[in-house]
């Protein structure tokens, strides 16, 4: 960074707030969720806050969609005055009804976009277990006449923002929410919202979910490489709910470890999960049926890692997403822990020869 710029401490946090919204104009539910979540976001002391699963509502019939529950949550906090960026619907141009991504930044946003099949076209899949309204099962050959079957689209975009830190080099922030490893819909194969008619149908749905998640990760990696193409020393941070541990395919795809590429010249393009600096006993953001898992990540580029100072995972009060959700109807808490990474931008000490 330029020697003319004073040292700058920056705290970046990611938090899946899990369906933060106002379903059915339930003001009491929003109030209860706000009561629990507000202390959590205040504790973050974030300069940049990336949120996932922010739902929208309408302030009256015919009005544009708004992030009303988020506004209520941020009211009276420093985040209320932050620069804000949110995902939008490709059809309406308004914020999406469900599961918006939001970036809140103390620093100006100089460039932004959402990426959704901009770099990767939807792959096509010929259904093998789908059953139509007449009860007839499709087969793989049916896709040969329609150009290769149905398109498999990602569930949501990822959100990008370039932040001005007062220096010529921006901080590139990617906020994403990858699909959970739950089987995707297959026509005619669901008995109800929770159960499948056949194991083969579930297997095809699980395959489709895997394609969606891997495709999102691929598109993210392609975008990261474009940033590196423009600036080999780019300061990049990718954060959000990856729905995967750091050794699983989606995270490996985005990280791009040199061992996978087998090329030492690509090492500078790898990303590092900063939570690795924490002890194993602290390294979890979700508890599923008693098993701690690290599904929410902050990945930093090697140039940005020079300014990394430490991480926090606020998981002390984290409930079990499977057990608690069944024991407590409509629990107001999030079953994801916020993850914080702290950076301090300053001139490194000069290296002198002996």
Q: Which domains, ranges and CATH numbers included, belong to the chain?
A: 8-345 (3.60.10.10)
pLDDT tens, residue by residue, 273-287: 999 999 999 999 999
pLDDT-based confidence at 5, cuts 50/70/90?
very low
Predicted local confidence at residue 192, as pLDDT? 93
Confidence of residue 2 (pLDDT cuts 50, 70, 90): very low
Taking a C-beta distance cutoff of 8 angstroms, is the pair 69, 20 a contact? Answer: yes
Whether the per-residue pLDDT at 147 is higher than 70: the answer is no
Q: How far apart are CA 83 and CA 86, in angstroms?
A: 10
What pLDDT sits at residue 143?
A: 46
pLDDT, residue 323, reads 75
Q: What is the end-to-end Cα distance of the chain in Å, rounded? A: 26
pLDDT tens per residue across span 95-146? 999 999 999 999 999 999 999 999 999 999 999 999 986 666 665 545 444 5
- pLDDT tens-digit readout, 26-83: 788 889 999 999 999 999 999 999 999 999 998 777 788 999 999 999 999 999 999 9
pLDDT the model gives residue 29: 86
Res 352 pLDDT > 60: no
The answer to whether the CB of 52 falls within 8 A of the CB of 16 is: yes
Q: Phi then psi for 133, rounded to 5 degrees?
A: -60, -25
């Amino acid at each position: 960074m330029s020697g003319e710029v004073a040292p700058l401490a920056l705290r970046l946090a990611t938090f899946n707030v899990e369906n933060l919204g106002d379903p059915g104009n339930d003001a009491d539910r929003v109030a209860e969720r706000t009561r629990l979540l507000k202390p959590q976001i205040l504790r973050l002391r974030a300069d940049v806050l990336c949120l996932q699963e922010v739902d929208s509502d309408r302030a009256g019939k015919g009005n544009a969609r708004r992030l009303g529950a988020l506004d209520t949550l941020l009211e009276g906090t420093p985040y209320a005055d932050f620069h804000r960026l949110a995902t939008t619907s490709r059809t309406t141009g308004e914020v999406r009804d469900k599961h918006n991504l939001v970036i809140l930044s103390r620093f100006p946003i100089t460039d932004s976009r959402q990426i959704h099949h901009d770099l990767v076209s939807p792959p096509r899949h010929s259904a093998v277990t789908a059953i139509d309204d007449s009860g007839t099962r499709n087969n793989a050959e049916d896709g040969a006449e329609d150009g290769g079957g149905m398109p498999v689209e990602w569930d949501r975009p990822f959100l990008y923002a370039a932040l001005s830190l007062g220096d010529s080099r921006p901080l590139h922030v990617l906020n994403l929410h990858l699909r959970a490893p739950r089987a995707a819909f297959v026509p005619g194969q669901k008995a109800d919202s929770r159960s499948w008619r056949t194991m083969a149908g579930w297997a095809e749905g699980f395959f489709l979910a895997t394609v969606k998640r891997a495709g999102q990760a691929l598109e993210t990696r392609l975008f990261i490489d474009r940033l590196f193409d423009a600036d080999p020393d780019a300061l990049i941070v990718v954060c959000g709910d990856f729905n995967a541990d750091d050794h699983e395919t989606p995270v490996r795809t985005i990280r791009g470890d040199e061992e996978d590429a087998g090329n030492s010249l690509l090492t500078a393009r790898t990303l590092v999960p900063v939570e690795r600096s924490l002890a194993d006993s602290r390294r979890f953001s979700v508890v599923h049926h008693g098993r701690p898992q690290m599904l929410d990540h902050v990945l930093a580029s090697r140039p940005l890692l020079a300014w990394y100072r430490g991480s926090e995972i606020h998981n002390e009060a984290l409930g079990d997403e499977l057990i608690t959700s069944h024991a407590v109807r409509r629990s107001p808490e999030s079953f994801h822990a916020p993850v914080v990474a702290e950076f301090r931008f300053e001139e490194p000490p000069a290296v002198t020869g002996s």
